[in-house]
Amino acid sequence: MFSQSPEHPKINWFARFERRYHAWRERRARKRGKTPTIVPFPGYGSEEWVRVLGRVLIVRPRRQTPEGELESVRGWRSFTGIPVSFSLVTVTVGDESFEIAADSGGVIDFVVKAKLPPGWQKITMSVEGEPPVEAHVLIVANDARFGILSDVDDTVMVTALPRPMVAAWNSFVIDEHARLPVPGMAVLLERLVRENPGSPMIYLSTGAWNIAPTLSRFLRRHLFPRGAMLLTDWGPTHDRFFRSGREHKQRNLSRLAEEFPNIRWLLIGDDGQHDDEIYTEFAKQHPENVAAVAIRRLSPAQAVLAGGRTLVNDHSDSPWVTAPDGAGLLDRLRDEGLIR
């Protein structure tokens, strides 16, 4: 939720329309007896605090197939949930409970002070007296010194996201089982996590929070290592129609540097979504927080779909490696001594 300045800047008409539209959908759903639930997202934290992530929604339950599995989901169904604005959420971490508020889009993004041991831990969240929902958070040990941060679109999942029509097709049409992984990336990330036990694994994407459950299933299905997720809300702000994906990445990178000042990150991305440029800027501003940068080169056809390549000639002093797939990046990182 964005607070207004003392001058109370005018909220653009699209933001006002979105809020009224969701409020109307929520009223209709409640009249039909539907109640909100919490969709949890994988969060992270240190031994002293936890960043809790999730969203309050009124959603349609997924049906089961005759084999007892949950039905596969077309992309557009991920966007049909009704966000519940400004809900009061009870978060329980260990023996402590906290009352926090969701934002205008129903998104929960809040830091609570709590002591948990390193590793994946369970917390619970509940809203309006509904049964608590279990969530998982990755607690980073105080002595951790290395972390892995990876982009998603065209880095671990083939999407060609920047081109509007392709983005719409991938986000709203394609069945989740039809999405393809980038060759070799699961092996690369799993190798990095295995060789650096206790290191945080974070997926940073410009994708909407709506696709977080689909993305989690995709990562599990293709054997990517488990990690925290940092996605964004595609909705409008008070002064623009859509949030900036670039600002989202820059803001979260700076936040991670502040939250974990002793960790040096291996930053992984591709050359079709400004990752090269964003990582270069971050490495120059926070050289002590960058172990290396690995950029996946898109093929000529993928580069066309992605709207071209981002070329940066003035890199930082941190090691930079490029290759067309995960196997090539693994070899380049081995040459730099980052993988055995």
pLDDT value for 311: 58
Phi (first) and psi of residue 172, to 5 degrees: -110, -15
pLDDT confidence bin for 71, thresholds 50/70/90: very low
Helix (H) / strand (E) element for 205: namely strand 201-208
34: left (phi over 0), alpha (psi -120 to 50) or beta: beta
Q: How far is residue 157 CA from its own chain's centroid?
A: 13
87-146 tens-digit pLDDT: 999 999 999 999 999 988 899 999 999 999 999 999 999 999 999 999 999 999 999 999
pLDDT confidence bin for 12, thresholds 50/70/90: low
CATH placement of domain 13-26+35-139:
2.60.40
Q: pTM to 2 decimals?
A: 0.83
pLDDT value for 317: 78
pLDDT value for 153: 86
pLDDT value for 59: 75
Continuous H helices in the chain: 13-31, 164-172, 185-195, 212-221, 245-259, 275-285, 300-305, 326-335
pLDDT value for 304: 46
168-189 tens-digit pLDDT: 555 544 566 667 899 999 999 9
- Non-local (6+) Cβ contacts of 94 within 8 A are 114, 115, 116
pLDDT value for 316: 64
Q: How many CB atoms lie within 10 A of CB 150?
A: 25
What residue has token string 């998104």? 107
Could you tell me the fold of the domain covering 146-335?
Answer: Rossmann fold (3.40.50)
Highest mean pLDDT (candidates 153-167, 229-243, 268-282): 268-282
- Non-local (6+) Cβ contacts of 73 within 8 A are 62, 175, 176, 214
Torsion of Cα atoms, 270 then 273 then 278 then 283, to 10°: 0
pLDDT value for 163: 46
Establish whether domains 13-26+35-139 and 146-335 are of one fold: no
What is the chain's mean pLDDT, rounded?
Answer: 82
pLDDT value for 144: 97
Q: Between 59 and 339, where is the model more confident?
A: 339
37-56 tens-digit pLDDT: 999 999 999 999 999 999 99
Ranges of each domain in the chain = 13-26+35-139, 146-335
